[in-house]
């Protein structure tokens, strides 16, 4: 059985949920039913379900099955809990994307760049500015810095196509983790020049550092989103606070103050 079997199952079940063949609040077919349907192992089914749960499509209930919890948003969501390229997000939301390269150059990190991004002073970097359009509407302005040693051979053509595809397939680097901050900021002159702002004077700004499998940062990025195209979606779990042991003298519970 191919290692990617669980991903194919995940995609098919996800399509069933998004098309409402498996409607909101309904119960998923049982594990046994899915095993028969996809002719696979129990572990394969569980991996597919785990992916759906991670993205907020379903909620497993111990001993009671798996419930569909996905509902459509008014604007297509980017996933803040996952790491996906702009193109991957657009395809997931059935949107056509185009990229216009505004600037591609090389520079060396000075004190200011180091303080802002986390790259060490003296690091040689690629500096990339791109305008992203969804269905022909320029609505996102991206700024990226890449460590030249970790992402060698970057070109203008790659920047227009897919940098992450180049990193993962050509350089065989694993993109593992990203730390992000979301702010709301006033537009700048370059935002006005490059984006169709539709009267907005602020943008949703996502700033992040991205790390490889060695825990080394290879990218700093800032994505500036027009508000009407900005819906970030994540899934959070509430964990019950553990009760603290009573004091030995019987004087009650520790309050942590």
Give 104-124 pLDDT, tens digit per residue. 999 999 999 999 999 999 999
Instruction: State whether 159 and 123 are in the same domain.
Output: yes
The tokens for 85 are 């390229």
Which of 40-49, 67-76, 80-89, 122-131 shows the lowest per-residue confidence on average (mean pLDDT)? 80-89
Q: Residue 194 contacts by C-beta under 8 Å, 6 or more apart in sequence?
A: 102, 131, 138, 141
Give 200-233 pLDDT, tens digit per residue. 999 999 999 999 999 999 999 999 999 987 777 6
- pLDDT (0 to 100) of residue 238: 73
Instruction: State whether 16 and 62 are in the same domain.
Output: yes
Q: What is the total count of domains within the chain?
A: 2
Confidence tier at 165 by pLDDT (50, 70, 90)? very high
Instruction: State whether 31 and 95 are in the same domain.
Output: no
Residue 70 CA: distances (Å) to CA of 10, 20, 92, 188: 14, 9, 15, 36
The tokens for 48 are 């597919």
65 pLDDT exceeds 70?
Answer: yes
| Burial class (CB within 10 angstroms; exposed 0-12, middle 13-18, buried 19+) of 59 | middle
Q: Tell me which residue has tokens 């920047």.
A: 159
Q: Residue 193 contacts by C-beta under 8 Å, 6 or more apart in sequence?
A: none
Alpha carbon distance 203, 32 (integer Å): 48
Range of the domain at 16: 5-68
Alpha carbon distance 150, 129 (integer Å): 19
Domain boundary among 13, 34, 68: 68
């Amino acid at each position: 059985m191919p290692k990617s079997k669980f991903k194919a199952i995940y995609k098919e079940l996800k399509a069933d949920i998004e098309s409402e063949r498996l409607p909101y609040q309904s119960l998923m077919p049982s594990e046994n039913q899915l095993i028969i349907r996809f002719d696979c192992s129990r572990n394969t089914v569980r991996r597919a379900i785990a992916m759906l749960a991670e993205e907020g499509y379903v909620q497993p209930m111990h001993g009671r099955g798996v419930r569909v919890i996905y509902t459509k948003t008014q604007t297509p969501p980017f996933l803040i809990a996952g790491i996906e390229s702009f193109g991957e997000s657009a395809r997931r939301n059935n949107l056509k994307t185009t990229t216009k390269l505004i600037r591609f150059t090389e520079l060396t990190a000075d004190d200011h760049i180091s303080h802002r991004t986390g790259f060490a002073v003296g690091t040689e970097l690629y500096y990339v500015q791109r305008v992203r359009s969804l269905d022909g509407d320029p609505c996102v302005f991206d700024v990226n810095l890449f460590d030249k040693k970790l992402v060698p051979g970057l070109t203008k053509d790659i920047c227009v196509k897919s940098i992450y595809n180049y990193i993962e397939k050509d350089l065989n680097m694993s993109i593992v983790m990203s730390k992000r901050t979301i702010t709301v900021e006033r537009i700048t002159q370059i935002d006005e020049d490059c984006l169709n702002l539709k009267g907005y004077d602020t943008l949703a700004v996502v700033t992040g550092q991205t790390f490889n499998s060695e825990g080394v940062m290879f990218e700093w990025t800032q994505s500036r989103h027009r508000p009407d195209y900005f819906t970030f979606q994540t899934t959070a779990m509430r964990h019950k606070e553990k009760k603290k042991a009573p004091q030995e003298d019987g004087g009650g519970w520790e309050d942590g103050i």
